[in-house]
A and B are shown apart, each in its own frame.
Chain A
Amino acid sequence: MSKADRISGIFWFVFAVIVSIESRRLGMGTLHRPGPGFLFFWAGILLAIMSLVILMRAWITQKEAGAGGFIFGGQNVWKIVMVLVSVFLYALLMEALGFIVVTLLLFLFLLGIVEKKGWVLTIFTSLAVTVAAYLIFETALQSQLPKGLLRFLRF
């Protein structure tokens, strides 16, 4: 995992440095009265040191064993990307379109396009899930899901 460790080591090191700089800006306070940035400054320093250890280790093992392969070897990367895009769109559109519309669209997309199931199954399942989820969360648990486009229906 030396390649992966190099990537994550660099990432956390940069993250830690940013945290420490930001914490100093927030105010360190005094030892008698530690300020809002005090603990986070030292947490950042600690994290930076540990990421350097990870980096060093990765560097040493690489010398000994040669570079490891890349970590995203799975064949379904494309599927993951599509699922991620659809759920992000769900989050961004849920308040504008409303729960019922986005949920229906999400399931039509996931079952019909990502999973390539037959249209009868896709449409039937999507409708059933949407209705069931609405009944459970809105009617039974009173979750106050966004109404969006369908707000005129007042149900």
Chain B
Amino acid sequence: MDVLGNILFGFSVALQPTNLFYCFVGTLIGTLVGVLPGLGPAAAIALLLPSTFHASPVSATIMLAGIYYGAMYGGSTTSILVNIPGEAASVVTCIDGHKMALKGRAGPALGIAAFGSFIAGTFGVIALTITGPLLSGVALRFGPPEYFSMMIVGITVLTYLSSGSMIKSLMMATVGLILGGVGMDAISGKYRFTYGMQILADGVGLVPVVMGLFGISEVLENLETEIKRDIVAAKFKNLFPNLQDWKDSAGPIIRGTFLGFFMGLVPGGGAIIASFASYAIEKKVAKHPEEFGHGAIQGVAGPEAANNSAASGNFIPLLTLGIPCNAVMAILLGALMIHGLQPGPLLMTKAPDLFWGTIVSMYIGNAMLLVLNLPLIGLWVKVLKVPYYLLYPLILLFCLIGAYSVGNNAGDVVLMLIFGIVGYLMKKFQFDGAPLILAVVLGPMLEEAFRQSLMLSKGDFTIFVSRPLSLSFLIVAFLLLVVPIITQRKKLSTLKE
């Protein structure tokens, strides 16, 4: 494939004024969302999804993608200035970033976070350009059994990596699978679990579920414990890191970039783990590891680069295989399907404008973010000062309007609120929402692949293990399930001794 030709084609799509506008709006909203604690990228994309229904699929995807990687940038600002991570992938940045701010080095911290993110984000996009077509080529040879096994791996990896108890995450994946099956069965035409309710006939809508689980529940949780904010009032004039800062950060940025990208590729891996892993590595290889936790610039540069390139890496399984590897990608997949597109190996040939346009828009978006983030930091700090008593009614209103406008139906709003309570209770009982969302999206695809495989083999279950690719996927999934049990046993037995 002619990579250069594809990229030029992508530019011709991404540089259209409408698409540029959507890219700008997406990155701007993304940064805003990243800055605001209590509103993550998953919720924001769900909130804005209905408003993209009027746009073309390409513009809509460009904007939604912009929100995602924009949030990765924005999250670092709050971590450094307020010690509150705007979103989960910036938790690590708090450790040294905020310490730097307390020492009066908020400027260089913000600067290196932005530049590190830019370098890593751009590299991630270039790698996406090269690996995307290769992976698509491999995936074209997949049959239903391979798809089934690959989705199983996707779900297992996400449960393996998700926070908290693994068995609880697996339970949530199973619940999501069941929820995904609500509505009319495509093969037999029977209604499942609808109990005569019209609202459930088309299935449980992704938008109400996501908005409930991630938007409403977050508001409820934040209402319980008031968020404390102490913004660093120190003035920061010079945002540009000095030569020494650059020397210290070059290694971490390069390592973080590669690490993040590969973590992003793995289904279930992603920005959060990449940032933690990068921090751990930097601390290990550092000449002065004792500086970590007291304002080491390496502890900001590495994780920030890692979370951004992971965000780009995340797009690869989605765009080439049709497998979302985290909650945000699951929502994007849902969004593409609402727009009538089926992400997967055929996407590149069926909708090249979407595939290459979105990828190239990320180069442009990364540049926009650099321009946006540095001069506008003052504004973002002001946004942070919006009191929560004003913010939460607004978030609620967005959710209410968003859920309604999916299908102009008040039933969806009620459904969203119910899932809001469910999500709140899940947080209370320590169940993770991400595997559930992934399974809701993958559920119908998984079932279809499963039933098609069995029809193909005339009911012979060995079809899943007799094909080498499918078998290797299942072995990976099996190991992911078994290894934690064994290591836990060992830990327990050593504890008892």
Interface of A toward B, CB cutoff 8 Å: 1, 4-5, 7-8, 12, 15, 19, 22, 26-27, 30-40, 43-44, 46-47, 50-51, 53-54, 71-72, 74, 76-77, 79-80, 83-84, 87-88, 90-92, 94-95, 99, 103, 106-107, 110-111, 115, 117, 125, 129, 133, 137, 141-146
CB contact between A84 and one of B51, B220, B226, B461 (< 8 Å): that residue: B220
Contact check, A19 vs B178: say whether CB atoms are below 8 A apart.
yes
Using Cβ atoms and an 8 Å threshold, which residues of chain A touch B372? none
Q: Using A1-B430, A87-B417 as known contacts, say yes or no to A32 and B400 having CB atoms under 8 A apart.
A: no
Q: Using A27-B190, A129-B394, A137-B401 as known contacts, say yes or no to A47 and B171 having CB atoms under 8 A apart.
A: yes
Contact check, B51 vs A141: say whether CB atoms are below 8 A apart.
yes
Q: Which residue of A lies closest to B226 (CB)?
A: A76
Q: Which residue of A lies closest to B52 (CB)?
A: A141
CB distance from A62 to the nearest CB of B (A): 16
CA distance A92 to B170 in the complex (A): 34
CB distance from A6 to the nearest CB of B (A): 10
Contact check, B190 vs A94: say whether CB atoms are below 8 A apart.
no
Q: Using A26-B190, A43-B178, A54-B168 as known contacts, say yes or no to A92 and B390 having CB atoms under 8 A apart.
A: no
**Given A39-B446, A76-B223, 16 extra CB contacts under 8 A:** A12-B175, A33-B451, A33-B454, A37-B192, A44-B178, A50-B167, A50-B174, A54-B171, A83-B392, A87-B417, A90-B400, A90-B413, A129-B393, A133-B397, A143-B405, A146-B404
Q: Using A7-B429, A19-B178, A83-B396 as known contacts, say yes or no to A88 and B51 having CB atoms under 8 A apart.
A: no
Q: Using A1-B430, A133-B401 as known contacts, say yes or no to A91 and B413 having CB atoms under 8 A apart.
A: yes
CB contact between B450 and one of A34, A92, A103, A115 (< 8 Å): that residue: A34
CA distance A19 to B171 in the complex (A): 14
Q: Does B410 contact A (CB under 8 A)?
A: yes
Using Cβ atoms and an 8 Å threshold, which residues of chain A touch B461? 31
CA distance A106 to B262 in the complex (A): 46
Q: Does B428 contact A (CB under 8 A)?
A: yes
Q: Using A91-B417, A145-B404 as known contacts, say yes or no to A129 and B397 having CB atoms under 8 A apart.
A: yes
Q: Using A40-B181, A88-B414 as known contacts, say yes or no to A110 and B167 having CB atoms under 8 A apart.
A: no
CA distance A53 to B192 in the complex (A): 28
Using Cβ atoms and an 8 Å threshold, which residues of chain B touch A22? 193
Contact check, A117 vs B405: say whether CB atoms are below 8 A apart.
no
CB distance from B243 to the nearest CB of A (A): 46
Q: Which residue of B lies closest to A31 (CB)?
A: B459
18 examples of A-B residue contacts, CB within 8 angstroms: A5-B429, A8-B429, A27-B190, A36-B188, A39-B446, A40-B177, A74-B225, A80-B220, A80-B424, A87-B396, A88-B414, A88-B417, A91-B400, A91-B410, A94-B404, A94-B410, A110-B396, A137-B401
CB distance from B25 to the nearest CB of A (A): 12
Q: Does B50 contact A (CB under 8 A)?
A: yes
Q: Which residue of A lies closest to B430 (CB)?
A: A1
Contact check, A145 vs B401: say whether CB atoms are below 8 A apart.
yes
Interface of B is mostly: helix
CB distance from A147 to the nearest CB of B (A): 12
Contact check, B223 vs A106: say whether CB atoms are below 8 A apart.
no
Q: Does B123 contact A (CB under 8 A)?
A: no
Q: Does B187 contact A (CB under 8 A)?
A: yes
Q: Using A4-B429, A80-B220, A111-B393 as known contacts, say yes or no to A32 and B454 having CB atoms under 8 A apart.
A: yes
Contact check, A32 vs B185: say whether CB atoms are below 8 A apart.
no
CA distance A89 to B86 in the complex (A): 31
Interface centre among B54, B177, B421, by most A CB within 10 Å?
A: B177
Q: Using A46-B174, A47-B175, A87-B400 as known contacts, say yes or no to A36 and B54 having CB atoms under 8 A apart.
A: no
Q: Which residue of A lies closest to B429 (CB)?
A: A8
CB contact between B405 and one of A31, A79, A83, A145 (< 8 Å): that residue: A145
CA distance A79 to B451 in the complex (A): 48
CA distance A107 to B177 in the complex (A): 37
CB distance from A69 to the nearest CB of B (A): 13
Using Cβ atoms and an 8 Å threshold, which residues of chain B touch A87? 216, 396, 400, 417
Contact check, A8 vs B397: say whether CB atoms are below 8 A apart.
no
CB distance from A52 to the nearest CB of B (A): 11
Contact check, B188 vs A117: say whether CB atoms are below 8 A apart.
no
Q: Does B163 contact A (CB under 8 A)?
A: no
Q: Mark B142-178, 1 if CB is under 8 A from A, else 0.
A: 0000000000000000000000000110110011011
Q: Does B56 contact A (CB under 8 A)?
A: no
